[in-house]
Chain A
Amino acid sequence: MANDSGSRIGGISVASSMILNIAFVILSLICFLPVLLVIIVSFTDGQSILTQGYSFVPDKWSLIAYESIFKDFQTILSGYRVSFTITILGTALSVLLMALYAYPISRADYPFRNAFTFFLFFTMLFNGGMVSRYLIYTQVLHIKDSYMALILPMLIVPFNVIIMRTFFQTTIHPAVIESARIDGAGELRIFLRIVLPLSLPVLATMALFSTIGYWNDWFNALLYISSEDKYPLQYLMMRVLNDVQYLRNNVELAAQNPTMMKNLPNESLQMAMAVIGMGPILIAYPFFQKYFVKGLTVGAVKG
């Protein structure tokens, strides 16, 4: 976090402080305005789009896009269901497995510490590549078109395991573990009752990383998922936008299929899709971002 430089000696002059603040306001706007534009377009009347294009100040507002989305509620609902299932299952499993791996390699007295650290680290250095992974997933593990194909790729993130290990090393004093052992607690009990409760900040940060990762993932769906009832929301959005683009690029195809053109989602509808996809993140954002910065700060300080 930034130091409270109000009280710090040697702060910058009032003029440069003004310039700095103006620069940051502009930067913040650049980051936020695109999101705002999409939200506004999703609430814009179709006629306004035709006359003035996408605008921050539309002539006429309308809820029609959301009404038509909720008419086709089944698809959206299914997308939400898949995304939530994947995110909750994936995050819970991911944080648990990473903590279970990070804890032993954080223990100075564990004799196989280096071997297992290398086993993890090597996966950061070298990988078999996308094709080989695709073939292993589809022909060896046989998890094509299953939820497993969406969960497995992001279960263990080596870099996050290393951050966790550093956290355990720096915050959990060996004496605490030693005294628990003298009291007759087993390893698993020590881990669950002592180590995990002391590590809430890093666990929360990892849960957050995981949640964002699973919620935003569309690439694995693109590779492995073929049945529509297993499409996560992001992948659904991607298909909507790509279908539109595809028809734009293929005018002849569009001319031959007037009904297809008619059924194309109109533009405020596409943007409403995007808003629905961003929704949960934008709503949760104010709550988690504070926590996230804190957790990252703790994890980033080298032990």
Chain B
Amino acid sequence: MTRATGFSRFIHAMWKYKALTLMMLPAVLVLLAHSYLPMFGIFIAFKNVNYIDGIWGSPWVGFDNFKFLFSSGDMWRIVRNTLLYSLTFMILNLVLSVSIAVAINEIRRRFLAKAYQSFIILPHFLSMVVVSYLVYAFLQPDHGFINATVLKAFGQDAVFWYSEKEYWPYILVFVNAWKHAGFGAVIYIAAIAGIDPEYYEAALIDGASKWKQITNITIPFIRPVIIIMTILSMGSIFSSDFGLFFQVPMNSGALYPVTDTVDTYVYRALMQLNDIGMSSATALVQSVVGFIMVIATNSAVRQIDREQALF
């Protein structure tokens, strides 16, 4: 096989499959505009952008933006919040989703199982703006359901929810689980539905208890799905659901110590402080950490079991 024939083969393949390649063109253009162009835009993190010189003409400042970010003291706070929330959400949602999926599979009456499923995936379809309204209906200081009905019934004083920061870690974890656990369960329900019932029959003949069946058949079978979902969510460990942290606490300044995450910080640095350099430095750190996390998690999985790695 000489190079020439290799090259002419390539040309031949190009020509033979030109229709398929052309089909992909529109999406390729979208990916270029929306994903690849911004990747080249990361150099902004190394510039001191000002509007007089424009993006291209602004002076290079090396790692100054990063120095400023790490010395500002905000960094520690937003990194701590982001990582702790991400990890908590990931673990809690995984446990809840798998539990719900396993439990719903044990409901004898099919129509009931379907009805429960409809209710628990409903929150997934509501936008974070709507969710912030729902939360507001409960927490509004003067008339909210919690203050006006629940606390009143117990003779307690009203709590000013939107300015008391100690409650918010719990509120945010609850809202996140409320919104996502049901939808996550659907994916595992689908995986469980694909398990051959013969395994369970064999286990019954051996006298295995329900618990044994779950731990020895169901969980091992849905493990690949759990692993893929975990690898994917590892990539966003350093990102947060902007809507949850910005919208639901109503961007209330008193709550920043516990609600400020990398994303809300970047947004505020960009939109309110107009600090392009620092916000793009933060965003770059975020992307790089996400990238490293995916690669690391995936290679960890590869070490354990080659088959189950994503790539």
- Please give the residue numbers on chain A whose beta carbons come within 8 Å of chain B beta carbons, in ascending order: 1-6, 8-12, 17, 20-21, 23-25, 27-32, 34-35, 37-38, 41, 49-50, 52-56, 97-98, 100-101, 103-105, 107, 110-112, 116, 119-121, 123-136, 139-141, 152-153, 155-156, 159, 161, 186-188, 191, 212, 215-219, 234-235, 237-238, 241-242, 245, 248-249, 267, 270-271, 273-274, 277-278, 281, 285-286, 289-290, 293, 296-297, 300-302
Contact = CB atoms under 8 A, between A and B. Distances in A.
A52 to B, nearest CB: 7
Interface stretch (B70-78, B81-89, B111-119): B111-119
B91 to A, nearest CB: 19
A53 B145 contact: yes
A153 B129 contact: no
A130 to B, nearest CB: 5
B138 A128 contact: no
B224 A302 contact: yes
B215 interface: no
29 contacts: A11-B108, A20-B103, A20-B107, A23-B103, A29-B119, A37-B134, A37-B145, A50-B143, A53-B148, A97-B27, A97-B30, A100-B24, A100-B26, A101-B27, A111-B13, A112-B21, A116-B28, A127-B38, A128-B39, A128-B41, A129-B38, A130-B263, A131-B270, A132-B39, A133-B34, A135-B44, A216-B129, A237-B130, A249-B252
Interface string B7-49: 0000001000101110110111011011111111110100000
B186 A293 contact: yes
Q: Which 3 A-B pairs have the closest CB atoms?
A: A53-B148, A129-B283, A128-B38
B283 A54 contact: no
A270 B149 contact: no
A301 B190 contact: yes
| Interface residues of A, dominant DSSP | helix
B79 interface: no
Given A131-B276, A218-B127, A281-B126, A156 B44 contact: no
A132 B283 contact: yes
B265 to A, nearest CB: 11
Given A126-B39, A152-B30, A241-B250, A281 B125 contact: yes
Interface of B: 13, 17, 19-21, 23-24, 26-28, 30-31, 33-42, 44, 54-55, 100, 103-110, 112-123, 125-130, 132-138, 140, 142-145, 147-149, 152, 162, 178, 182, 186-187, 189-191, 193-194, 197, 200-201, 203-204, 210, 213, 224-225, 232, 235, 242-243, 247, 250-253, 263, 266-267, 270, 276, 279-280, 282-284, 286-287, 290-291, 294-295, 311
Contacts of A130: 263, 266-267, 270, 279, 283
B28 A119 contact: yes
B48 to A, nearest CB: 14
A3 B44 contact: no
Contacts of A278: 126, 130
Nearest to A140: B37
A24 B182 CA distance: 11
B283 A38 contact: no
Contacts of A25: 116
A228 B55 CA distance: 28
B291 A128 contact: no
A130 B280 CA distance: 8
Given A35-B134, A135-B44, A296-B186, A5 B108 contact: yes
B40 to A, nearest CB: 7
A100 B23 contact: yes
A107 to B, nearest CB: 7
